[in-house]
Amino acid sequence: MSKALKVAVVGVTGAVGQEMLRVLEERNFPVAELVPVASARSAGRTVTFRGEAHTVRALTPEVFQGVDVALFSAGGSTSKEHAPVAAAAGAIVIDNSSAFRMDPDCPLCVPEVNLEAARSPKKGIIANPNCSTIQMVVALKPVHELGGLKRVVVSTYQAISGAGAQAIDAFLKQSADVVNGREPSGLEKLKGQLAQNLLMHWTVDAATGYQEEELKMVHETKKIFGDPSIQVSPTCVRVPVVSGHSESISVETHRPVKVADVRAALEKMDGVVVVDDFVHGVYPQPKDCVGKDPVFVGRIREDVGNPGGLQMWVVADNLRKGAATNAVQIAEGLFL
């Protein structure tokens, strides 16, 4: 690293933007100058970084002058309009929205899996995958290396923090309503009653019957591994948990793999913590992963219903590894 960097965080007042600041600080990323950016209505507010207050700037082309890295977490429409502007100004853009994920000229990167893909982005824009995809492909990397992924069947149990800070507030109020026997509030914001319930409320693709969230996992997994033949069968579910996504994953491989070999490979991986003593009740739980960067993997076992297959249970903090941490790790991989 030859110099400290000028870093812009776009969408800095949102849940992921705030997490990006924490991750940059905790991981001691070499920020020489922070440029906090948000919408015009948030301009003038202050955010704290390394103990100092910084004034939030409105999102205009001028904010990207001299910026080395621009971390975007402000939604797809904002990214489509402003990420190319930041890249044209000379910044490396790492975008957390879905705007550029399937663009063939924009790498889709999870550093533990395919950092090399991000080395020379043609448009200067690198896409952060969907939160549920990120933790899955990290856990599947050694399986793919050992046996070649043939088919992945995954069910997700996704926390409400993935829908943003306002959704968290709505969920907490709704939970209090239900506990106290009141009519549940926040039905519109949460797209139903999540308190003491489960929802499948992402945008539905009428042609397939799948949700947009599910189709992201299908297409992103193929792109990240560079293998369009991998079959992915997903079901995504929103659960009454504030933070921490969980996934039940069943895997078929082209070549036989041993559970012991997969466990050993996962134990050696950077960014993975194996928590796997199910006989004694030890397995990854969302409450234990909040505020932490690794992907936690447990219940690694042979698939009793599909001899030769594997099953595992994967948990991660969706605001950190599923968003902010992954973005910062991409920047670390490129600049440090």
- How confident is the model over 76-123, as pLDDT tens digits? 999 999 999 999 999 999 999 999 999 999 999 999 999 999 998 999
256 plus 282 within the same structural domain: yes
39 plus 179 within the same structural domain: no
Q: At 1, is the pLDDT very low, low, confident or very high (cuts 50, 70, 90)?
A: very low
| Domain that includes residue 229, residue range | 133-317
Average pLDDT for 211-220? 98
Average pLDDT for 190-200? 97
By CB neighbour count within 10 A (0-12 exposed, 13-18 middle, 19+ buried), where does 328 fall? buried
84 plus 141 within the same structural domain: no
Q: Is the pLDDT of residue 323 over 90?
A: yes
Q: Quick one: what percent of the chain has pLDDT higher than 90?
A: 98
pLDDT reported for residue 3: 77
Average pLDDT for 57-68? 97
188 plus 301 within the same structural domain: yes
146 plus 249 within the same structural domain: yes
Total domains in the chain come to 2
CATH number at residue 266: 3.30.360.10
138 plus 194 within the same structural domain: yes
pLDDT reported for residue 2: 53
52 plus 187 within the same structural domain: no
How many other C-beta atoms can be found within 10 angstroms of the C-beta atom of residue 230?
18
Give the pair of three-digit tokens for residue 334. 């490129």
The residues carrying an active-site annotation are 131, 245
